Every structure is written in structure tokens, then in C-alpha cells.
Chains A and B, each alone.
Chain A
Amino acid sequence: SQTIHQWPATLVQPVGSPLSLECTVEGTSNPNLYWYRQAAGRGLQLLFYSVGIGQISSEVPQNLSASRPQDRQFILSSKKLLLSDSGFYLCAWSRGNYGYTFGSGTRLTVV
């Protein structure tokens, strides 16, 4: 069966510090991978998606970047966090026209 792992679950980071959130998928190959963020009072917003290794598309200009070094690994990064980067980050995968499967999420608080 397919599983998706996302860590850490919570993170408190100072402004200006770097960020690395990791997501891995098991039990499937060549999935589409996504990073979403939910900021306070807002819906889920797509940040990045990837259809293959090394292929990253960005939906909104921001302080974050994403990488896909392996087929089932998706990493969200920042060199210097801003207060506005606080939020709940969700990784997800999909294949074909089925519902997305989400990870358990990371609550990031930038202080």
C-alpha cells in the first residue's frame, strides 16, 4: 500500500534561519508531488508541484524553494525564513485522476 511520510510535525524557527521539510512516498512510482500551505484564515494554497525528478513548478513567488532529488522524495526549503512563512505545510502525492493523498503536515511557526 502507498504511504506518505512528512516530517517534522512541528517546528519553531527564528526569522532568518534556514528551513528544510522533507516528504517521502512509498509504494508507488513516478507520482506527482505537491507542497501546499495553509496560512491562518486561508485555504490550502499550492506552493510547488513536481511531475518527475528534478522537475519543479512554482505557483506563487515566494521565499521558498523545492527540490526532488529522487522519484519519491520532495523537499521544501528556505535560506532565510520570514514571519510570513508561518503556516501549516502539507505534502501530497497523486497519480492519475484520483484524490490526492496528504502527509500528516508540519506546523511551522517563525518567531
Chain B
Amino acid sequence: ILNVEQSPQSLHVQEGDSTNFTCSFPSSNFYALHWYRWETAKSPEALFVMTLNGDEKKKGRISATLNTKEGYSYLYIKGSQPEDSATYLCASLNYGGSQGNLIFGKGTKLSVKP
């Protein structure tokens, strides 16, 4: 059974703090790793799709790294702002699973206090 784990489950930081979360995923038959940002009462929004080992992607103050050999990805937020408050989901796509079966973690819920 393919499992994607995220930690921590929740995180409370002050405005201006930098923070990071972890996503661990099955490294065998890896195809792609997705990160999503899910704000309350909105749809999950794609942040990054990463496929290559060592890949690093950046969007504004948010960046992510990928290690496909050991099966983990980190999401970093630099200088957190209240509008960064959301649940951050990662999801793994592996060969051998059903086509299109993106396996999601339970997410890390980030709260940024002003």
C-alpha cells in the first residue's frame, strides 16, 4: 500500500518566521511529487509538480526540494505572512499504482499569527 506522510500535522508561527514542512513518499517506481495549498473554503491550488531527483522549485517566498532516492520533499516558506495560513498537501504519483492515482498526505495546517 502506497503511503504519503506529512509532518508536522499542524504548525503555528509568527508573522515573519520562516518555516518548513516534510513530505515522505514511496521512492520505488516514483513518477512525480505534487504540492498543493488549500485555503479554507477554497479549492486546493497547485504549487509545484516535481519529477527529478535534486529538483528545487520556487514561487515567491515558497520553495520546495525533492529527494526521490530517499523519498522525501521539503516545502519552505520564507518570512511567513498571515495570508500563508492554509493546509499544505503533498501527493505522490508512482508507477505501479493505478493510472492517475495521486496519493495524498493528510496535510500540514499552517497558522501564521500577525
Contact = CB atoms under 8 A, between A and B. Distances in A.
B87 to A, nearest CB: 10
Contacts of A101: 43, 46
A94 B44 CA distance: 13
B21 interface: no
Contact of A59 (B48, B89, B101, B104): B101
Given A102-B43, A104-B42, A97 B99 contact: no
Interface residues of B, number: 25
A105 B42 CA distance: 8
A97 B89 contact: no
Interface in A29-81: 32, 34, 36, 42-46, 49, 51, 57, 59
B44 to A, nearest CB: 5
Contacts of B99: 49, 51, 57
Given A59-B101, A99-B36, A43 B46 contact: no
Task: Please classify how large the interface on chain A is, using the bins under 10, 10 to 19, 20 to 34, 35 or more.
Answer: 20 to 34
A99 B98 contact: no
B107 A94 contact: no
Given A43-B106, A43-B107, A49-B100, 6 more contacts: A44-B91, A46-B102, A99-B34, A99-B47, A104-B42, A105-B43
Interface of A: 32, 34, 36, 42-46, 49, 51, 57, 59, 90, 94, 97-105
